[in-house]
Structure formats: C-alpha cells, structure tokens
Amino acid sequence: MSTRSEDKKTLRQRLVQERQQLPDRLERIARLQHVMRLWLMERKDSVIGAYWPIKGEFDPLPALYRWQEDAVLGSSILSPEGRKENPAVNVLAGAHENQRRIGLPVVNKEHKTLIFYSWYPGCPMEPDAYDIPKPKDTAIVVPTLLFVPCLGYAPGGYRLGYGGGFYDRTLATLQPKPFTVGLAYSNALVPDFQPEPHDVPLDAILTDAGLVFGA
C-alpha cells in the first residue's frame, strides 16, 4: 500500500469518527435540511436520486419527501377539488401524478454501479448486498439530479468517499449525466485534498453552512 493510500485511509477513518461524534449534530441536521429545501426550490427536476444514510451521514430523505409533498399540496390547492378537500390526503398518489419521484441506489454486483429504485415513506425495504436498506420491488428510475454523500469535500467540488468507486462508475454510464450535489457537514472540509486523475468534481456542494460550491 502506498503512502498516499495509507494517508487517505487514515483520513477516512478520522472523518467517520468525527462525524459520528458531532456534539451539535441535531443543529447541523436542521440547518442542512433548511439549506437543502431552499436550494431545491430553484430546481425543475422531477426525479431525484439520493441515498440511505450510514455511518452518521446526513439523512436527505425528510427534505426530499417535503419536496415531493410540496408539489402535491401546490397542485391540490390550485385545483377546484383541492379547495374542497384536505390537500395533504393521498400525498403519494398526488406525487405520482406530478411525477416527482425519489430514487435510492442498489449496487449492480456485476458492473459495480448503482441502479436507482423508487422510494417513498413506508415502502417495503430489504437489505442489499452490503446490508444497507433498499426499496423492494419498486420501479427503476433515472434521476436528473443526484444527491451524493460526502465523507469529506474539497475546494473545486471534489468529494472524498469510502473508496468503493460506485458513484464514479455510475456517473460514467448514466446518460444524460445527472446534476450532482454533495451533502456534508461543514466540518468535513479537507482544504489540502489532492484529487487524483479519475476524480470528477461535483456540480455543487451543500453543507449546514450553505452552498459552498457550485450554483
């Protein structure tokens, strides 16, 4: 193992430990949820890919469910029928009609890439090959916007992951390429990170401190 690999392995271990031990985790979660929701207001995407949080990662699903729900509430309030009924009723059915969908990744064992399956609160889940929950028997979706967990992030939009390369391989095959947004807590900044030739920068990065890269 090279010194560079050893350094990166040590860095990953430190970042995971720091993230899991954040004393102000709840405050950071609330701020990043707010940042994410505001940022999504400017987007026109109807299918968004995300992830199931592990190892202390920020959970993007509550904000995405609100994003999905907002479309239902808006269309219900604007319609004559919606004025007579509770607009919060049948949120999932309305979301389907408005084509706002959320996808969670499942690893393709053969190609080591990610396939996204439709997720909604309460949908059946089962463990994947890595014992991470994944949607069970739902439709495949192709996201135009992809939220990516960042173990660390660096100037220029670079992301430090766990080293599996799943997102890099997936982004190399998805057509059209989705707009990629990293999600992290602001303490995960790695200012001296040196990207390797295969590292591709994200289009934007959001943290509890706001938009720190991209638009």
Q: b vs e for 140-178, b when ≥16 Cβ sit within 10 Å of the residue's Cβ?
A: ebebbbbbbbbbbbbeebbbbbeeeebbebbbeebeeeb
Q: Choose between 6 and 179: higher pLDDT.
A: 179
Residue 6 confidence (pLDDT): 57
For 11-70, the pLDDT digits (tens) are: 999 999 999 999 999 999 999 999 999 999 999 999 999 999 999 999 999 999 999 998
Residue 75 confidence (pLDDT): 52
Q: What is the pTM for the complete model shown?
A: 0.86
Please check the confidence at residue 161 and state whether its pLDDT lies above 60. yes
Contacts of 197 (CB under 8 A, 6+ apart): none
Please check the confidence at residue 199 and state whether its pLDDT lies above 90. no
Full 3-state SS string of the chain: CCHHHHHHHHHHHHHHHHHHCCCCHHHHHHHHHHHHHHHHCCCCCCEEECCCCCCCCCCCHHHHHHHHHHHHHHHHHHCHHHHHCCCCCCHHHHHHHCCCEEEEEEEECCCCEEEEEEECCCCCEEECCCCCEEECCCCEECCCEEEEECCEEECCCEEECCCCCHHHHHHHHCCCCCEEEEECCHHHECCCCCCCCCCCCCCEEEECCEEEEEC
Residue 98 confidence (pLDDT): 54
For 94-112, the pLDDT digits (tens) are: 444 458 999 999 988 777 8
Number of other CB atoms surrounding residue 34 within 10 Å: 13
Spatial contact of 104 and 95, defined as CB atoms under 8 Å apart: no
Mean pLDDT for 186-199 is: 90
Residue 5 confidence (pLDDT): 56
